[in-house]
Amino acid sequence: MNNPSEENTEVKLVAEDGCLYTPKEAMSKELRDLDFYQDNPILIVHHPEGDHDTIKWPRPNAKHLRSALFDAREQGLIPDVREVLLPNGEMFVI
């Protein structure tokens, strides 16, 4: 079951250098405490063939973005939310 406090958390993605990133402050405390994450983690889509791609901004592939956000949510990079705020202010449903 979802944690109600996480469902009400707003996650605003960060656009930098033509790619989308998750905000470091949205990560679980355990991940934030690791020295590995110095900056905002980049969103990456994992293809079944084994390839990986970043999520481009300002025109992301919605299928790839949804997949990358699902993975980020499962890995604790973002809380268990149903939607995120894109850098342009639009909501995106995961």
pLDDT in tens, the chain (94 residues): 344 445 567 899 999 999 999 999 998 888 888 877 778 899 999 988 989 999 999 999 999 999 999 999 999 999 999 999 999 999 999 9
Q: Is residue 91 part of a domain?
A: no
Which pLDDT score is estimated for 8? 60
Burial of 37 (0-12, 13-18, 19+ CB in 10 A): middle
Whether 60 maps to a domain, the answer reads: yes
Q: In this structure, is residue 63 part of a structural domain?
A: yes
- Cα–Cα distance for residue pair 54/75, rounded to 1 Å: 17
**Strands 52-54, 91-93: pairing kind:** unpaired
**Tokens matching residue 41:** 């983690």
* Assigned domain for 48 exists: yes
Question: Is 92 inside a domain boundary?
Answer: no
Helix (H, G, I), strand (E, B) or coil at 74: helix
CB atoms within 10 A of CB 1: 4
Q: Is residue 93 part of a domain?
A: no
Distance CA 88, CA 47 (A): 26
Rg (CA), the chain: 13
Q: How many domains does the chain have?
A: 1
Q: Model pTM? A: 0.85
